Amino acid sequence: MAAPSGAAICEDFAEFQELLRVMRTIDDRIVHELNTTIPTASFVGKVDPGQTCKELYESLMDAHTKRERIIKDCIFQTSAVVKTLKEEREKAHEDATLLKQLRKEQTKV
């Protein structure tokens, strides 16, 4: 799955959670993946188990790397928004809307 990048996925927390859920599919199905990757005795001559295990490992590592990158990017982006909102809050102490938005972003982080 090609994961979208940028601030768009970080703004909507529910969308971000759904993206992570979809990206975890290979982890959630690891037993099934192992059962279909490692050949049974009748298929041992038709499939190279070393190659198929290597491909499974590479797809797992790729999925983990993509997920980690997206999570770190969103943390970085949201932290920057929190920093900006805190600076604005210092200037406008009584702005309730600003405080609400700041709390929302802090909860995301």
Contacts of 105 (CB under 8 A, 6+ apart): 78, 81, 82, 85
Do residues 33 and 53 lie in contact, with contact meaning Cβ atoms separated by under 8 Å?
no
- In eight-state DSSP terms, residue 94 is T
Neighbours of 39 (CB within 10 A): 14
Query: Could you give the 3-state DSSP secondary structure of residue 38?
Result: coil
Q: What are the tens digits of pLDDT across the range 10-42?
A: 888 888 889 999 999 988 898 888 887 777 776
**pLDDT of residue 51 exceeding 90:** no
Give the Å distances, CA to CA, from 54 to 34, 50, 57.
11, 6, 5
pLDDT band at residue 102 using 50, 70 and 90 as cut-offs: confident
